[in-house]
Structure 1
Amino acid sequence: MDSADLRGSKRKADDADTPPSPASATPQLPRRIKPLDQVVVNKIAAGEIIVAPVHALKELIENSVDAGSTSIDILVKDGGLKLLQISDNGHGIDENDLPILCERFTTSKLQSFEDLQSIGTYGFRGEALASISHIAHLTITTRTANSPIGLRATYSDSKLITPKPGQPANPKPVHRNKGTQITVEDLFYNVPSRRRAFRSPSEEYTKILDLVGRHAVHCGGVAFSCKKYGDADVGVSTTAGATTTDRIRRIHGNAVANELLPFEVSDEYLGFKVKGMLSNANYHVKKTTLLLFINNRSVDSSSIRKGIESTYAPFLPKGGHPFAYMSLDIEPHRVDVNVHPTKREVNFLHEEEIVQKICESLQEKLAAVDTSRSYALTQALLPSAKAVPSNSSGQKAAARAASRTEEGAQPLVAKPKKPYDYNMVRADTRDRKITTMLQPKSQKEDGGSAEGDEYEYDDNRQWTSVKYQTIKKLRKAVWDTKHKDLCELFHNHAFVGIVDEQRRLAAVQHGLKLYLVDYAAVAFELFYQIGLSDFSNYGTIRLNPPLALKDILEIAVEDERKRAEDVDSDSSNEFDWEGAYKIVDTLVSRRDLLKEYFSMDISEQGELVSIPLLLKGYMPSLGKLPSFILRLGPNVDWYSELECFDTFLRELALFYVPEILPKVDTSSDSPDNEKEEEGGAGGWRDATALAKRKDELNRTVETILFPAFKRRLIAPPSLLQGVTEIANLRGLYKIFERSC
């Protein structure tokens, strides 16, 4: 038997130890690589776009809404596998566009790749109809407002075909009102394996009703109807003039419609606005119902779903889940919609901050309306208490609680089980210290500093789309290398305190563990990532008066000279002192680039007018400014776009890292004992000023840096060296038990 024949087949027991004869073995040649046939390519692509009838209908509904329709009717047979028909009254399809209508990547909504940064429609790739034509029989009947008669065209494999043999493949004139009707028959007729995978037509029809219901709730001003072929009853039916509450009532019932809360929150800095309707604390079901639309696109987001569920958890009984309809509008250039073939998922900037903002506002909303419910519930659970009048929702909750108590059922507020001491977390990441609420005012209301007009903040950022592939590549590298456990630690930590100011170490708690964190290393990663995410959109710190670059470099050169002499008296001769002053010419010649991309304004006379503001409320040490300017010469690659952006942002991040302050000499308050310490340009000669700066820096690290770590940091694996576990509650309990 040939060795190739043995592969994948059972061998007999007596053949198990008998190797094939080398003489009879046939040499295996590598298979040649050949391009796939275009028909196969198109069917593979169709399988990625159209996974089930509901996906085909989603594409067709989005096209109808994009066409300005105010009425959409859907007819379904056998769960959409036998027939899927959608009719609308939109603007129709021009006769000249019909020949290429079903070809791949033909669209009226996208002209260039840069248009993806501002896409505001549902579909844009031009693959939906092409994909359907490869796996179903497709017929399109349409009429525009300027056309006296309608046209009917039949398609197969992206091409116009004749509906009957012997006839031309041109569109046929038919009677039709303004709009378009798309008929999809025998879906997956030529992909039998995919067709056999569907369990039942009723299950597919249920998915279709859910999809139509979602769009019927969201698309105000559009009437929807959906029903089975041959049935008189309509599965979904809404009118164009119905309010959002009425549409929810028609689709999801009175129980949820009577317990809805309007919800709205926005943030100009994060560039988003969300509004919707959410259930209050009197309504709960076994599974969360989330109708989420991002820029009018029906999507799912696990982070938003988890955030909503965790926010509702304290307000609902155990096992209860809410209903939520949310329409989230984000500036188009911050959203990437082209990340999933079916457009089920999208990526957008500052996702965690946006989710946190939504959940905080939702929690305040629920807490504000939950007062009467809680009071009524207390009255129901305490028979001796006197009844008090309440609103209708509170009375319903009280009645439910009373009925459960009378029947002997477990009350809604069950007595919690006492956890073991070694499993109790001692801090909540949402708690705030009272010291963080009593921050001294460090800036004037007009934007100037509190101790003179040395600098002023300007955080009125004008967000623009970043089109540089190099920046997108650097951003992607950050996301691809993130460390999941470290991200969880920093996003859910509780700040304990600063441990060592010289080594820049702080203690944080996460769960049952205590960690020692090198906040200088973490700050470097944070500011580098802020430099990438906010590229060309920074705020500014204006210097008043402007500082001459030559004077700044003289300070930097002098510091370098002293440092070199302290290390080795001969090494100072190796430093190119004259070359350092050429940095001024380098920076002045690139002043336009620095101002446009990095908000670093340099005058023609070589004066530094402003530096970038990366984090609102955080002022980098100007004592590090000379070193920063000096390093921009040799450490930045000015001749390669990617290397230039990357190296400059790393130097900027190093400049923003909190400085190391010398120890404060508190042995005597006498001026004779005040020592000159190295603490940036000029050193620290005043112990009082040094102590003041130390307190200010420690407060900044606690109230600004660590909250920023929680909101914005994408922790890379390199930070593992800067995070050390120093205590574990369970381990400490074992030690104490042995010692007792």
Structure 2
Amino acid sequence: MEPEMDVDVQEPRGTKRPIDDEGPSHKPKKIRALDPDVVNKIAAGEIIVAPMHALKELIENAVDAGSTSLEILVKEGGLKLLQITDNGHGIDQDDLSILCERFTTSKLKEFEDLTSIATYGFRGEALASISHIAHLTVTTKTADSSCAWRAHYSDGILVPPKPGQSAAPKATAGRGGTQITVEDLFYNVPTRRRAFRSASEEYAKILDVVGRYAVHCSGVAFSCRKHGDAGVSISTAVASNTTDRIRQIHGSAVANELVEFNVKDEKLGFSSSGLATNANYHVKRTTILLFINHRSVESTAIKRAVEQTYSSFLPKGGHPFVYIDLEIEPHRLDVNVHPTKREVNFLNEDEIIEAICNNIRSKLAQVDSSRTFLTQTLLPSVQTLAPSNQDLETGPSAPKTPATSKKPYENNLVRTDSRVRKITSMLPPAMQMHQPTTTAGAETEPASQTVLDEGLHYETTDREPLKIALTSIKALRAAVRNSMHNSLTETIASHSYVGLVDEQRRIAAVQSGVKLYLIDYSMFCNELFYQIGLTDFGNFGTINLDPAPKLIDILRIAAEAEAETAQAQNNTNEEQQQIFVNAPEIIAKTLLERREMLSEYFSIHISDEGHLLTLPLLLKGYLPCLGKLPRFLLRLGPYIDWSSEQECFRTFLLELAAFYTPEQLPRPQSQQQDLGDSDTANQGDTGDAEDGYIQTRRAQMARMLEHVVFPALRARLVATTRLLRGVVEVADLKGLYRVFERC
């Protein structure tokens, strides 16, 4: 009998095998330092993700070198060949030996220099990373050199061009400047090289990068062509202005509809200029060329704000083209937050974005009259205004332009426009509160404007904004982002405010798309003010209290109210009553001991004598109910965890958000009488006086919700999963059509 053959049985794919042959061990594994070659390849994989990232680094280095002409040659989407030739200052021969070593740079000497970076590159990792994943050749000539020098690199060091030759740079013929040739990108990272689907797709991404810098870098000529092609894909001249460059790269359809905008704010330390398309141009996808301190970056917040700005000017589904050149004082900007420098962080982001969008909005409004379109009367009872001069010239018999596309089905139309009639204008006069009176042809200010601004006066201070880098605040912001609900956030970001439904239950109606929702605005406001507290931490405005009340007096008022409430519910004894008596002194002492922190981080200023001078202003135009102030201050004692920094900030901001949340208001007297509330109807003079105050607050709250709070929700809120409990869908247009089709 023949002996059985030994058969190697392969383990299933994905099975983890032990490192050694002794089998798995329960002992902790030894920590070892990675091989430098592995470290360098990991770093290279973070910085050079695709050929477009390698080209971006090379373009920035060339512009930093003072080049006025860049020639780019690409083969197979940059994977086979990526070559850039410039006419800049060149590289000294002595520096070629360390050119591709990591963290070798001429633009940064000390860590403090990061606060004043004015160049594109600064870390010295671009060429080093490329040399670890490609074959790199550098040919360079300086102005005082008699010849050019060519050097070959691999894994960050000089290597000979062929085996057996010297690795030292060799003299060669060449013109002034530098030519960098990158061949066989990702040759030693096969998994990443196989991930690229097509060379044409990668070449399109390269053209996008070149096009962005060609638009922005005035005084620099760009040309980019594919290897083997006679013509160039992109070509811009040195003397071309920005509009001409946009015309050459993005077409005349964009360039002919551009409007220029400029905005500057010395207090926020920024200036911005750019070009944006007007309302006559729109495409299916937003195109934003954003440069912050001349560095091409991406910003979801800016893109979202720009799209919201254009939503009032463009039809549904239309998107703009915008080029933004934003310059921020270097010490307010952190450029070292992303391996590819694709993102940056800067102070006062929300205020800067709002200023830019407001300027774009004003420019669009000025040219908005250039649009031409046909209109029809929406309601038979609405009288049209006198005909315009153009209508008189063309006459009523002017032929209409025939429709060129199929009319969309009615149940897919979104009928929301801030410029059309509000639904409240169709209600009976008794249900309208302080509606503005308008006359045809005259512009009037809403009457409720005086209710909102009465007694309020805003002043601008010279206080420099604080740069908050506390780990605790970053962790709290990250917690909000981690609990984000994407679809609800998009719904709130695209909603249109319909109206206030119930002030007592704090319910409002909003429309998003073709759906109508009822939302609990107390929950949404609470989350909004908490998030504002995190984003604006340490940089709040102030509400000055004049005359300044005594802190201990306010706390005693709150303690007495709490004691009366507890006594009415029979929930107190003598010991608890004594707690209410002693609580104001204890809390006042606690707040006085921490008044420096309260002043610096929360804009709550308390004088040496114990007077409350200011409160934080979270949202301009919104005034919280000062009747909630005593209870807010009283809760700063037992409900704040003063022992832990992160918990202290979290609990304090939660209490501040609760103080800012709109209060419950009783229903209007007419509604109470309709519901048979005889107690309210028989209140007498006292009830009339109280009702007068409540009516004023109701009118103020209605305007603040419509013009301040809900626009802030739309622009700033990151809706979290817990807010799903505060939203109810009550109708959608498609469902209503199904109902009416059955009738």
- What range is the shorter-chain TM-score in? 0.7 to 0.9
Equivalent in the alignment of 2:684 = 673
Structure 1 residues 661 and 284, CA gap change in structure 2 (3 angstroms):
closer
Please tell me whether the aligned partners of residues 565 and 572 of structure 1 are also in contact (alpha carbons under 8 angstroms). Answer: no
Which residues of structure 1 form unaligned runs of 5+?
A: 10-25, 387-400, 406-410, 677-683
Residue by residue over 1:119-149, the C-alpha shift from the partner in whole angstroms, topping out at 9 and shown as x without a partner, is 6543344331111111223233556678898
Larger deviation, residues 457-466 vs 507-516: 457-466
How is 1:635-650 mapped onto 2 (pairs within 5 angstroms)? Answer: 635-650=639-654
Residue by residue over 1:481-510, the C-alpha shift from the partner in whole angstroms, topping out at 9 and shown as x without a partner, is 111222123222233333332222223333
Once the 2 structures are TM-superposed, how far is the Cα of residue 364 of structure 1 from its aligned partner?
Answer: 2.9
Equivalent in the alignment of 2:69 = 71
Equivalent in the alignment of 2:101 = 103
Equivalent in the alignment of 2:407 = 416
CA distance in 1, matches of 2:96, 2:450: 66
CA distance in 2, matches of 1:548, 1:242: 66
Structure 1 residues 564 and 230, CA gap change in structure 2 (3 angstroms):
closer
Equivalent in the alignment of 2:10 = 5
How is 1:394-543 mapped onto 2 (pairs within 5 angstroms)? Answer: 414=405, 416-420=407-411, 423=412, 425=414, 427-428=416-417, 433=422, 435=435, 438-442=446-450, 450=454, 457-458=458-459, 460=461, 462-543=464-545
How is 1:48-197 mapped onto 2 (pairs within 5 angstroms)? Answer: 48-76=46-74, 80-93=78-91, 98-107=96-105, 121-142=119-140, 153-162=151-160, 179-191=177-189
Once the 2 structures are TM-superposed, how far is the Cα of residue 734 of structure 1 from its aligned partner?
Answer: 5.4
**Secondary structure at 2:138's aligned position in 1?**
strand
Letter in 1 for 2:368: A
How is 1:260-659 mapped onto 2 (pairs within 5 angstroms)? Answer: 260-264=257-261, 266=263, 268=265, 274-278=272-276, 291-299=289-297, 324-329=322-327, 341-344=339-342, 349-350=349-350, 357=358, 360-361=361-362, 363-364=364-365, 367-371=368-372, 414=405, 416-420=407-411, 423=412, 425=414, 427-428=416-417, 433=422, 435=435, 438-442=446-450, 450=454, 457-458=458-459, 460=461, 462-568=464-570, 570-571=572-573, 573-574=575-576, 575-659=579-663
**Secondary structure at 1:547's aligned position in 2?**
coil
CA distance in 1, matches of 2:547, 2:313: 55
How is 1:713-732 mapped onto 2 (pairs within 5 angstroms)? Answer: 713-731=717-735
**Secondary structure at 1:714's aligned position in 2?**
coil
Please tell me whether the aligned partners of residues 141 and 182 of structure 1 are also in contact (alpha carbons under 8 angstroms). Answer: yes
Please tell me whether the aligned partners of residues 564 and 572 of structure 1 are also in contact (alpha carbons under 8 angstroms). Answer: no
Structure 1 residues 145 and 700, CA gap change in structure 2 (3 angstroms):
same
Letter in 1 for 2:296: S
Once the 2 structures are TM-superposed, how far is the Cα of residue 533 of structure 1 from its aligned partner?
Answer: 0.9
Equivalent in the alignment of 2:256 = 259
Residue by residue over 1:371-390, the C-alpha shift from the partner in whole angstroms, topping out at 9 and shown as x without a partner, is 59999x999x999859xxxx
Once the 2 structures are TM-superposed, how far is the Cα of residue 363 of structure 1 from its aligned partner?
Answer: 4.6
Residue by residue over 1:632-657, the C-alpha shift from the partner in whole angstroms, topping out at 9 and shown as x without a partner, is 12222223221222111111111111
Letter in 2 for 1:593: M
CA distance in 2, matches of 1:664, 1:417: 42
Structure 1 residues 581 and 305, CA gap change in structure 2 (3 angstroms):
closer
Residue by residue over 1:199-240, the C-alpha shift from the partner in whole angstroms, topping out at 9 and shown as x without a partner, is 776775565444333322210122334456787755544333
Residue by residue over 1:272-312, the C-alpha shift from the partner in whole angstroms, topping out at 9 and shown as x without a partner, is 76543455677788987654434433345678778878988
Larger deviation, residues 285-294 vs 134-143: 285-294
Residue by residue over 1:390-439, the C-alpha shift from the partner in whole angstroms, topping out at 9 and shown as x without a partner, is xxxxxxxxxxx9xxx9xxxxx5654634525xx55454467674758615
CA distance in 1, matches of 2:464, 2:420: 33
CA-based RMSD: 4.8
Structure 1 residues 637 and 424, CA gap change in structure 2 (3 angstroms):
same
CA distance in 1, matches of 2:524, 2:414: 25
**Secondary structure at 2:621's aligned position in 1?**
coil
Once the 2 structures are TM-superposed, how far is the Cα of residue 75 of structure 1 from its aligned partner?
Answer: 4.3
Letter in 2 for 1:215: Y
Structure 1 residues 589 and 280, CA gap change in structure 2 (3 angstroms):
closer
Please tell me whether the aligned partners of residues 149 and 176 of structure 1 are also in contact (alpha carbons under 8 angstroms). Answer: yes
CA distance in 1, matches of 2:575, 2:689: 29
Letter in 1 for 2:551: L
Larger deviation, residues 316-325 vs 521-530: 316-325
Equivalent in the alignment of 2:382 = none
Please tell me whether the aligned partners of residues 353 and 712 of structure 1 are also in contact (alpha carbons under 8 angstroms). Answer: no
CA distance in 2, matches of 1:569, 1:324: 63
CA distance in 1, matches of 2:316, 2:304: 16
Q: TM-score, normalised by structure 1?
A: 0.76
Please tell me whether the aligned partners of residues 311 and 363 of structure 1 are also in contact (alpha carbons under 8 angstroms). Answer: no
**Secondary structure at 1:139's aligned position in 2?**
strand
Larger deviation, residues 179-188 vs 640-649: 179-188
**Secondary structure at 1:602's aligned position in 2?**
coil
CA distance in 2, matches of 1:352, 1:246: 27
Equivalent of residue 210 in structure 2, options 207, 212, 216: 212
Once the 2 structures are TM-superposed, how far is the Cα of residue 245 of structure 1 from its aligned partner?
Answer: 2.7
CA distance in 2, matches of 1:317, 1:723: 27
**Secondary structure at 2:498's aligned position in 1?**
strand
Equivalent in the alignment of 1:38 = 36
Larger deviation, residues 613-622 vs 363-372: 363-372
Equivalent in the alignment of 2:378 = none
CA distance in 2, matches of 1:541, 1:39: 58
Once the 2 structures are TM-superposed, how far is the Cα of residue 523 of structure 1 from its aligned partner?
Answer: 0.9
Structure 1 residues 258 and 522, CA gap change in structure 2 (3 angstroms):
closer
Letter in 1 for 2:625: S
Please tell me whether the aligned partners of residues 117 and 465 of structure 1 are also in contact (alpha carbons under 8 angstroms). Answer: no
Letter in 1 for 2:703: R
Once the 2 structures are TM-superposed, how far is the Cα of residue 96 of structure 1 from its aligned partner?
Answer: 7.0
Once the 2 structures are TM-superposed, how far is the Cα of residue 248 of structure 1 from its aligned partner?
Answer: 3.5
CA distance in 2, matches of 1:636, 1:87: 62
Larger deviation, residues 86-95 vs 602-611: 86-95
Equivalent in the alignment of 2:704 = 700
**Secondary structure at 1:489's aligned position in 2?**
helix
Query: Identity rate of aligned residues, in percent?
Result: 54
Residue by residue over 1:243-276, the C-alpha shift from the partner in whole angstroms, topping out at 9 and shown as x without a partner, is 12333344456x4486242321547599876543
Please tell me whether the aligned partners of residues 86 and 179 of structure 2 are also in contact (alpha carbons under 8 angstroms). Answer: yes
Once the 2 structures are TM-superposed, how far is the Cα of residue 63 of structure 1 from its aligned partner?
Answer: 1.5
Once the 2 structures are TM-superposed, how far is the Cα of residue 582 of structure 1 from its aligned partner?
Answer: 2.1
**Secondary structure at 1:615's aligned position in 2?**
coil
Once the 2 structures are TM-superposed, how far is the Cα of residue 337 of structure 1 from its aligned partner?
Answer: 5.5
CA distance in 2, matches of 1:531, 1:689: 30
Please tell me whether the aligned partners of residues 80 and 205 of structure 1 are also in contact (alpha carbons under 8 angstroms). Answer: yes
**Secondary structure at 1:546's aligned position in 2?**
coil
Please tell me whether the aligned partners of residues 69 and 88 of structure 1 are also in contact (alpha carbons under 8 angstroms). Answer: yes
CA distance in 1, matches of 2:572, 2:288: 71
Residue by residue over 1:595-623, the C-alpha shift from the partner in whole angstroms, topping out at 9 and shown as x without a partner, is 11111111122111111100001111111
CA distance in 2, matches of 1:515, 1:629: 35
CA distance in 2, matches of 1:709, 1:313: 16
Equivalent in the alignment of 1:395 = none
Structure 1 residues 120 and 608, CA gap change in structure 2 (3 angstroms):
farther
Q: TM-score, normalised by structure 2?
A: 0.76
CA distance in 2, matches of 1:279, 1:526: 32
Please tell me whether the aligned partners of residues 138 and 180 of structure 2 are also in contact (alpha carbons under 8 angstroms). Answer: yes
